[in-house]
């Protein structure tokens, strides 16, 4: 008997990828799987409608066709079901998919056929769901710049990067965890469940997505040499060799951001945030992964 998969599809996300072609790819590459499509509407009751769909059948898997926004909306709706989730990357940046080693629809099909599942921790940051990476400072400023540019995508990201490098500055942070307080100065502070950004830059080399812990990584390069060295280390996965990078592992923490550094969660820019509280969400999600 075929496995029953619910395919939750955002019809408008990303840069115009042909949905019919994607459906053909899924049909040709997912053997023994019957796919039922349900399209998101973008309205606030999508999560409730998804929960209704979940009751319709005993689903063997859920496919999410969309970008990071769609993935987070669906994940929040299916919490606690334990149904395996396959990401079909149809967003503009697809940071979450990349984090699971999924760079295109073929990768997604391969991950599902292989059936390799990663149990992934979820984190609550001030009431927002964080699956992968959240950060203050340099990168969040970059995300903010690229999302306000008219044309999104990698080119917008590159242009914004240059501008952001010119404006790079340090911020003060206070990290409170395990009854201790640490004051740090950094260009960027990352709350990391995953290992790398959608660009492939590694920020959390030893972090594991399902170990019940997240890492707080601070990065503070001084001058052009250290900035270049840092970029090379991130793209060559040699971050542990860089002196101004420090990583700590926690199950729970609070972070103060008195200088009002920009802040983002999984690629979504947050309003000014002076303090965050990071707590575990008591459910893991089973993602098909190639990492
Ligand atoms: N049928 C629809 N019509 C209009 N908007 C929709 C519809 N379905 C979902 N949306 C909107 O799509 C947005 C989510 O898009 P998503 O983040 O998945 O893709 P993206 O922004 O293109 O990619 P990424 O997040 O990877 O940059 C939400 O704002 C949601 O309200």
90-133 confidence digits (pLDDT tens)? 998 788 898 899 999 999 999 999 989 999 999 999 999 999 99
- 110 and 220 inside one domain: no
Average per-residue pLDDT for the chain: 93
Asked if 99 and 137 sit in the same domain, the reply is: no
The answer to whether residues 31 and 151 belong to one domain is no
pLDDT, position 153: 61
Q: Which stretch of 30-34, 141-145, 208-212, 263-267 has the lowest confidence by average pLDDT?
A: 141-145
Alpha helix ranges (H) inside the chain? 19-29, 46-56, 68-78, 95-99, 105-114, 138-148, 154-166, 223-235
If we measure between CA atoms, which residue out of 33, 38, 58, 59 comes closest to residue 48? 38
Question: Which residues form the domain of 104?
Answer: 3-115
Q: Given the CA of residue 91, which atom of ligand 1 is nearest to it?
A: 23
- Examine residue 270 and state whether it is found in any structural domain, yes or no: yes
One domain for residues 98 and 185: no
pLDDT of residue 29: 93
Q: Which residue out of 67, 95, 102, 267 has the highest number of ligand 1 atoms within 8 Å of its CB and is therefore the one to mutate?
A: 67
Q: Is the dihedral of CA 110, 116, 121, 122 positive or negative?
A: positive
Instruction: State percent of the chain over pLDDT 90.
Output: 79
The count of structural domains within the chain is 2
| pTM reported for the whole predicted model | 0.89
Inter-CA distances, 109 with 34, 50, 139, 148, 289, Å:
13, 22, 31, 33, 10
CATH number for the domain that contains residue 133:
2.60.200.40
- Mean pLDDT, to the nearest integer, of 136-140? 95
Q: Could you tell me how many residues make up the chain?
A: 291
Task: Specify the pLDDT at position 159.
Answer: 77
* Cα–Cα dist 118/195, whole Å: 14
For residue 7, what pLDDT band results from cuts at 50, 70 and 90?
A: very high
In the predicted structure, residue 190 carries a pLDDT above the cut 60: yes
Whether residue 290 lies inside any domain: the answer is no
- Candidates 48, 98, 102; CA nearest to 78 is 48
In a domain, 287, yes or no: no
The protein residue with its alpha carbon nearest to ligand 1, atom 13, reads 69
Is the beta carbon of 89 within 6 A of some atom in ligand 1? no
Indicate whether 71 and 199 sit together in one domain: no
Segment 83-89 mean pLDDT? 97
Count other C-beta atoms under 10 Å from residue 57's C-beta.
Answer: 12
My answer on whether 80 and 220 are in the same domain is: no
Distance 67 CA to ligand 1 centre (A): 7
Instruction: Outline where 194-251 has alpha helix (H).
Output: 223-235
Report, as an integer, the average pLDDT of 27-39: 94
Q: Do 81 and 136 fall within a single domain?
A: no
Domain membership flag for residue 289: no
Q: Which atom of ligand 1 has the smallest separation from the CA of 198? A: 26
> pLDDT tens digits, residue range 41-71?
999 999 999 999 999 999 999 999 999 999 9
Ligand 1 proximity of 14 Cβ (cutoff 6 Å): yes
Is residue 123, in this structure, part of any structural domain at all? no
Rounded to the nearest whole angstrom, what is the distance from the C-alpha of residue 12 to the centroid of ligand 1?
6
Tell me the ipTM for this assembly: 0.95
pLDDT of residue 14: 87
Reported as a pLDDT band with limits 50, 70 and 90, residue 145 is confident
Same domain, 138 and 232: yes
pLDDT for residue 152 = 57
9 C-alpha vs ligand 1 centroid, how far in Å? Answer: 10
Calpha distance 132→197 (Å, rounded): 9
Residue 268 CA: nearest ligand 1 atom is 25
Same domain? For 186 and 257 the reply is yes
**Domain check: are 151 and 274 in the same one?**
yes
Is 30 found in the same domain as 58? yes
Residue 61 belongs to domain with CATH number:
3.40.50.10330
**Residues 132 and 274 both lie in one domain:** yes
Q: Is the pLDDT of residue 154 over 70?
A: no
């Amino acid at each position: 008997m075929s496995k029953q998969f619910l395919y939750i599809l955002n019809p408008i996300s990303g840069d115009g990828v042909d949905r019919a072609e994607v459906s053909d790819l899924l049909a040709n590459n997912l053997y023994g799987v019957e796919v039922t499509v349900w399209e998101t509407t973008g309205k606030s009751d999508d999560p409730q409608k998804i929960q209704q769909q979940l009751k319709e059948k005993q689903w063997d898997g859920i496919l999410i066709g969309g970008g990071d926004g769609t993935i987070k909306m669906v994940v929040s709706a299916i919490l606690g079901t334990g149904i395996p989730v396959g990401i079909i990357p149809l967003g503009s940046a697809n940071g979450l998919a990349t984090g699971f080693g999924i760079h295109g629809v073929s990768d997604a099909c391969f991950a599902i056929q292989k059936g390799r599942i990663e149990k992934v921790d979820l984190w609550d940051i001030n009431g927002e769901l964080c699956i992968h990476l959240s950060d203050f400072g340099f990168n969040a400023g970059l995300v903010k710049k690229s999302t306000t540019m008219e044309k999104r995508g990698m080119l917008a990201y590159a242009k914004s990067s240059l501008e952001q490098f010119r404006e790079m500055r340090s911020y003060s942070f206070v990290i409170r965890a395990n009854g201790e307080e640490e004051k740090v100065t950094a260009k960027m502070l990352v709350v990391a469940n995953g290992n790398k950004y959608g660009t492939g830059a590694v920020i959390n080399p030893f972090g594991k997505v399902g170990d019940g812990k997240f890492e707080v990584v601070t990065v503070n390069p001084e001058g052009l040499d250290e900035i270049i060295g840092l970029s090379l280390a991130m793209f060559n996965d040699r971050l542990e060799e860089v002196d101004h990078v420090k990583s700590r592992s926690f199950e729970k923490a609070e972070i103060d951001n008195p200088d009002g550094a920009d802040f983002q969660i999984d690629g979504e820019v947050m309003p000014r945030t002076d303090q965050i509280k990071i707590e575990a969400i008591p459910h893991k999600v089973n993602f098909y992964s190639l990492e």
